[in-house]
Amino acid sequence: MKRLPLDDTFKINRTPVTLREIVLDKLRGAILNFQLLPGDRLVERDLCERLGVSRTSVREALRHLESEGLVEFDGSKGPRVAIITLEDARDIYELRCVLEGLIVQLFTLNAKAKDIRALERALEENRKVLESGNLQQVLDSVQGFYDVLLEGSGNQIAAAQLRLLQARISYLRATSVSQANRRDASNHEMERIVEAIKSGDPMVAHQASVDHVRAAAKVALEYLKSKQGEQGDMREFVTPIALKEPRIGR
Cα gap 70→171, rounded to integer Å: 8
pLDDT at 241 over 70: no
| pTM over the 0.75 mark | yes
Give the pLDDT score at 133.
67
Tally of CA atoms within 13 A in the half-sphere of 205 that contains its CB: 26
- The structural domains of the chain, ordered by start, are 8-81 (1.10.10.10), 86-228 (1.20.120.530)
Give the pLDDT score at 184.
83
Average pLDDT rounded to a whole number, residues 123-143: 88
Give the pLDDT score at 181.
74
In this prediction, what percent of the chain has a pLDDT beyond 90? Answer: 60
Cα gap 48→57, rounded to integer Å: 8
Residue type, 22: I
Give the pLDDT score at 33.
85
**pLDDT tens profile 147-179:** 999 999 999 999 999 998 988 998 999 888 887
Give the pLDDT score at 3.
75
**pLDDT tens profile 56-113:** 999 999 999 999 999 999 877 899 999 888 999 999 999 999 999 999 999 999 999 9
226 close to 89: Cβ distance less than 8 angstroms: no
